[in-house]
Amino acid sequence: MSLIHVYEQVFDMLRKGGVVMPIIFAVGWIAWILVLMGKKEHSKNIASLAAVAPLLGLLGTVMGMVHTFETIERFGFGNPVLLADGISEALLTTQAGLLVAFPLLLANTYIKRRIKK
């Protein structure tokens, strides 16, 4: 798998995830920068960002489902391909929020234990 292919997949996921996906992506980057800096004063920021990520994922889920219901309202149930965009948006943002939050929570726990020592 080439680097260009990876970039294409990332940008495709950002596009399919709707408006919330770039925000989740940015939260993840900012949080990992703070984790890698490893300073005591950043640990509360890391925990906050880890808590925000799944909430953003939930927001994206709701927005994706609203998108799906708007599509059903306009076109009915006849074409499942039209419904797939909203469902995909909902699932991708949920996945992204959780994928950002879980490792950050583990890193935050590790940093807190290290600071206590």
pLDDT of residue 40: 66
25 belongs to a structural domain: no
Mark the ranges of the chain whose per-residue pLDDT is less than 70: 39-43
Query: In which domain, by residue range, is 68 found?
Result: 41-117
Domain count, the chain: 1
8 belongs to a structural domain: no
Per residue, the 3-state secondary structure of the chain, as one string, reads: CCHHHHHHHHHHHHHHCCCHHHHHHHHHHHHHHHHHHCCHHHHHHHHHHHHHHHHHHHHHHHHHHHHHHHHHHHHCCCCHHHHHHHHHHHHHHHHHHHHHHHHHHHHHHHHHHHHHC
78 belongs to a structural domain: yes
29 belongs to a structural domain: no
83 belongs to a structural domain: yes
pLDDT of residue 19: 92
108 belongs to a structural domain: yes
31 belongs to a structural domain: no
pLDDT of residue 13: 85
Interval 50-59: pLDDT, tens: 999 999 999 9
pTM, two decimal places: 0.84
pLDDT of residue 53: 95
62 belongs to a structural domain: yes
pLDDT of residue 23: 95
pLDDT of residue 42: 66
